[in-house]
Structure 1
Amino acid sequence: MVCASEKDQYQQWLAQINQVCGSFAGRPLTGEFFGELESTWTGNLKLSTVTASGVNLFRTRQEIKTSNDAWFYTVFQIEGEAGLEQDDRQIVLNSGDITLIDASRPCSIYWPEKSRQISLLLPRQILEQHFRFQEVSCAQKLSRTLPTVQLSYRLLQESMSNPALSETESEAALEAMVCLLRPVLQQRDSMQPRKERQFTQVLTLIDDHIQAEHLRPEWIASESGMSVRSLYRMFAEKGLVVAQYIKNRRLDLCAQMLRGTRDDEKLAGIGYSWGFTDHSHFSTAFKQRFGISPGEYRKRHR
């Protein structure tokens, strides 16, 4: 039973969680409640330190609808234990362990006793680029004994101790974090199922012809020996739309090119070289994906 003063503290803490970390519902567990939250921004690094006990936070489809789901939560367990659930997985994190939680799918976190963890937001687009839409293993316990986990902790500590990191430096730190964790997060089979191999081949075909005007679903389906309907279904099973994937892939390549171009190189020409014939459309699409205009992006990544 939560007393009146504890109930007020709980409600204030839950409101703070919703403001900083996204929409979560909660319920008290047996035992004394305790809740603290600290959040910090370091360039593009958004970190939330949660210390809690006697409480369960969870996200259902209802909370997901009212929140930004363009993230993964990288959870670093600092002290104590915490239980996490997503999909059909249930794990217990001990001090020094790491896991990944997808903000777009229901999840649940339990703090039966006092523990502390840091959540680092990883933008979905970074994982998409590195994993190429292959399955990312969420709610998987990454043990503190793994060298990649130990290196990830060191990277986190170094980043947190350098609040003056620029946006470019902090973005590089996010990329490095994904590269470190990718080998243990990516689900691998000794033999990929036929459907997965076919999907990988389609992505390779798109990359090989990414600058071509004829890169459309009908052409891709024909070259891949399938119907257009089957192609759409293949992408839909990954939560993707073919045309949107092609556009985002072209935008990612434009961004890569912008990071290495001179100021006198025309932005319209860069967009055109990757299939954007209308500069206004290119600029709008780029801002929707990266949050800033192509010109501002190039300035930040000089």
Structure 2
Amino acid sequence: MIINSGRPTAPTGGDRWQKVVSEAYFPLDTECRNRADFFGEMDRWSLGVVGLSRIRCDGVLYRRRRRHFLDETESSLLIAIPENEEVQFSQNQRLTSCKPGGFIVERSDAPYEYWHERRNVQFVLKVPSASVRARIGPSERLGGLAFDARQGVASYFLSSLRAAISHIDQLDDAAREAAGNHLLEMLCLAIRSDNRVLDSNISSIRAAHLHRAEQFIRENLKNPELSPKMVAEACGISLRYLQQLLSESDQSINGYIRERRLNRCNEDLRAGGHGTTVAEIAYRWGFADQAQFSKHYKAKFNCTPTQTRKAADRYRNPM
């Protein structure tokens, strides 16, 4: 049986399963040994901007091809967490495996293959790439990385996920959104604590300076007085050197800060405000000028903040 958001539907084999996973995540191709008799079921929950699902299915290969995302304007990350069987994954010229007790990061904006040979149970988080970038910087280097979650903050992340699932039926929308935000923060902390996330193309000293600057910006986004000079002084580096560190973004330092503020505002707008106005969200993330916020927001997302909120409300409450 396939379960979608708590509503059972009749199983129809591999073709139906491909449709279910494509609707839950993004377009994918699937391959399995016996398409007619394929078994799969899925539970889905919405936790604000975070999507959470639990999959039980036979052995299958998922293939994300370039044609699947050529016209997509937003990218996502899938966090796959196997519970019973080892899974294999290939992306970014990385071929890796992940056993129960770990998780794999999958990028939606690059081709990949993901497979397991026997029936498996898995949890899957779907998070906007922009939400991850706002917390840990560029997400391009994450695709294909497997993380050991048997200890440290990664272990706490998995424990938090299982705790959320065990209580999810008793949570209202506001509590689910809070749970989603917590999982997102723990996920990013777990990823950031891994040394492989540092950019291997720059020296360890520059990587440390870049990490410190990005972290200071993330921690002070809500401060409307945040400035390039403040970042440079906090990191003990010059303004010129700071700009060199952030040169990969092809932006000024102010532009870099503004983009991360816009991403956090977009995240809050899509999650629902529970009475919070657009102006309050903008101010929360350091925008003192509402008109400038709306201008920059529309330039980045090709819609107004109000349109984003209305579209998210329609998605959560379809007619």
TM-score, L = length of structure 1: 0.67
The partner residue of 2:145 within 122, 125, 140 is 140
What secondary structure sits across from 2:169 in the alignment? coil
1:224 equivalent in structure 2: 240
In 2, Cα distance between the equivalents of 1:139 and 1:92?
9
What secondary structure sits across from 2:106 in the alignment? strand
Distance 1:59 1:115, change over 3 A: same
- How far did 1:55 drift? 2.4
In 2, Cα distance between the equivalents of 1:80 and 1:268?
42
Distance 1:253 1:27, change over 3 A: closer
2:204 equivalent in structure 1: 192
2:115 equivalent in structure 1: 110
- How far did 1:68 drift? 6.7
2:309 equivalent in structure 1: 292
Give 5+ residue unaligned stretches, structure 1. 1-7, 216-221, 297-302
In 2, Cα distance between the equivalents of 1:287 and 1:278?
12
Q: Considering only aligned residues, what root-mean-square deviation do their CA atoms show, in Å?
A: 4.8
Q: Which moved more, 1:56-65 or 1:35-44?
A: 35-44
Q: Establish whether residue 178 from structure 1 lines up as the match of residue 184 from structure 2.
A: yes
Paired amino acid for 1:13: W
- How far did 1:104 drift? 1.8
Q: Establish whether residue 24 from structure 1 lines up as the match of residue 28 from structure 2.
A: yes
Paired amino acid for 1:152: F
2:76 equivalent in structure 1: 71
The partner residue of 1:38 within 27, 42, 49 is 42
Contact 1:199–1:234 at 8 Å: present in 2 too?
no
In 1, Cα distance between the equivalents of 2:143 and 2:118?
23
Distance 1:242 1:36, change over 3 A: farther
Q: Which moved more, 1:36-45 or 1:281-290?
A: 281-290
What percent identity do the matched residue pairs reach? Answer: 14
1:119 equivalent in structure 2: 124
Contact 1:39–1:46 at 8 Å: present in 2 too?
no
In 1, Cα distance between the equivalents of 2:15 and 2:57?
13
Deviations 1:250-292 (A, max 9, x none): 43676899999x9899759949953444575478569559932
2:231 equivalent in structure 1: none
In 2, Cα distance between the equivalents of 1:276 and 1:82?
47
Distance 1:71 1:226, change over 3 A: closer
Contact 1:202–1:224 at 8 Å: present in 2 too?
no
Q: Which moved more, 1:181-190 or 1:152-161?
A: 181-190
- How far did 1:14 drift? 1.1
The partner residue of 2:156 within 137, 151, 154 is 151
Contact 1:254–1:274 at 8 Å: present in 2 too?
no
Contact 1:76–1:98 at 8 Å: present in 2 too?
yes
Deviations 1:124-151 (A, max 9, x none): 2331222033765333332352243432
Give 5+ residue unaligned stretches, structure 2. 1-11, 229-237, 314-319
Contact 1:43–1:166 at 8 Å: present in 2 too?
no
In 2, Cα distance between the equivalents of 1:264 and 1:68?
26
Contact 2:106–2:144 at 8 Å: present in 1 too?
yes
- How far did 1:73 drift? 0.8
Q: Establish whether residue 274 from structure 1 lines up as the match of residue 305 from structure 2.
A: no
The partner residue of 1:249 within 260, 263, 281 is 260
In 1, Cα distance between the equivalents of 2:277 and 2:44?
36
Number of aligned residues: 275
In 2, Cα distance between the equivalents of 1:12 and 1:256?
31
Paired amino acid for 1:21: Y
What secondary structure sits across from 1:156 in the alignment? helix
In 1, Cα distance between the equivalents of 2:290 and 2:44?
37
